[in-house]
Amino acid sequence: MRSLTRWLAVAPVALVVLVVAGCAGPAASSGTSTTVAPLMEEPSGDALPDSTVQSLDGLLEQWVADGNGTGVTAAVVSPAGIWSGAAGVDAAGVTLVPESAMSIASITKTFTAAEVLSLADEGVVDLDAPITDYVTLPFDTQGATVREVLSMRAGFPDVPDVMAVDADLGRSWTTEDVLALLEPDPGRLGQVGGSDSYNNLNYLVLGALIEEMTGDTFAEVVRRDLIEPAGLARVWVQDAEAPEPPLTVGEASRLFPVVDPAGSYLPSRAIASAGGGAGGMAADAPSIARWGYLLYGGYVVDPGLVEQMTTGQDGYGLGTELGDIDGARIVGHGGNLNSYHSILLVWPDSQTSVAVLVPNIYGQHLGTGTDHFALAAQLKESVAAATPAG
């Protein structure tokens, strides 16, 4: 099995300042596609067989018993059936259930990318036009295109750490609040068009592009265009939306104090609002597994655009991390806010989507060394073993 380092070690979310320009963009001929048929079968709404459910539940229970974390939730969506489960407790000792809401951190990027691609399909955005055709930014973008921003190849500077400026976990960060945090001539993470350089700034900028080109807030657009049409019962765009109970409390860290146990946001209002289109959303495992299946199955955006999302250099497509496990292609995204870890893995060839959410700091629990990435693969294999071939 080969796991990708980036999936398990995504940089903490911080905030970027930008000023949105009031201009219309060119047509999106480079983003549209003629493919019509979905890439995967319609997912089943039926439960998996009892024997498979017992196997999946057992994997979660064993993962916790082995000391890998205090608790875990997970879900599977496939044409053969669906499943969700939970084991253990969160950092406050509350028993987890499949519907327990957690921060999904950088899995948010899949929603942001899907919306940008939808705008491209509508002719509102040209993926190969400069990002500055749509937003005005307080640094030199050096001609980076929308596609390069989507694929982490824009060479943008890093984002400031908002918690180093104000430790108030209840603060709601706005663009104006952090404008002074940016250096006059910030250093850059990579070169435009070069190897991908993972950076949350890219997706905060894309969130602003979405707002500028639709005239609505990021939360309004994502809910209207993606969450509601996909039938995602428990997904929230923080901090415009507060997650609904049952909530989880993420594990606290002395080095990265972002958890507000008494708050309504995950992990806190400050970090959720700062995350924006890069990492501000929250959800439960069943909703994320469904989202992954519908997105990469070609039910959310045009299947031809999904093919563009899942093709890329250095393991990153358009808002999508790319890899393989035992030779089988996987797509999806990981999320890491230190106190929460999440993974969305989709196997396009075997048409299986798996989500795993953990309210713990990665690496703080010694256990057997079975990370949540490996657990997702085990869940998929358990489903495959119970699914008749052909």
Distance CA(158)–CA(105), nearest Å, equals 17
Prior bond of 267 cis (ω within 30°) = yes
| pTM for this entry | 0.91
CA distance 319 to 29: 20
- pLDDT for res 382: 95
Return the pLDDT at 388.
63
pLDDT at 9: 36
- Dist. CA 160–CA 365, nearest whole Å: 29
Which residues, in sequence order, are bridge partners of residue 344? 333, 355
> Rounded to an integer, what is the distance from CA 105 to the centroid of its chain?
6
Identify the DSSP state of 186.
Answer: -
Query: Following CA atoms 116, 118, 119, 122 in sequence, which dihedral angle do they give, to the nearest 10 degrees?
Result: 160
The closest of 386, 330, 382 to 62, measured between CA atoms, is 382
Q: What are the tens digits of pLDDT across the range 227-257? A: 999 999 999 999 999 999 999 999 998 888 8
Q: Which residues of the chain have pLDDT under 50?
A: 1-29, 32-35, 175, 179, 390
Burial class (CB in 10 A: 0-12, 13-18, 19+), 330: buried
Q: Label the pairing between strands 281-283 and 328-336.
A: unpaired
Q: pLDDT tens digits, residue range 368-384?
A: 777 999 999 999 999 99
Q: Per CATH, the architecture of 5-385 is what?
A: 3-Layer(aba) Sandwich (3.40)
**Which residue, chain included where needed, has tokens 């190969």?**
128
Peptide bond into 184 cis (omega under 30): no
Helix segments in the chain, DSSP class H: 5-8, 50-65, 108-121, 146-150, 162-165, 175-178, 200-214, 218-222, 269-279, 285-296, 303-309, 372-386
Beta carbons of 103 and 250 less than 8 angstroms apart: yes
The token duo for 379 is: 């869940």
pLDDT value at residue 164: 87
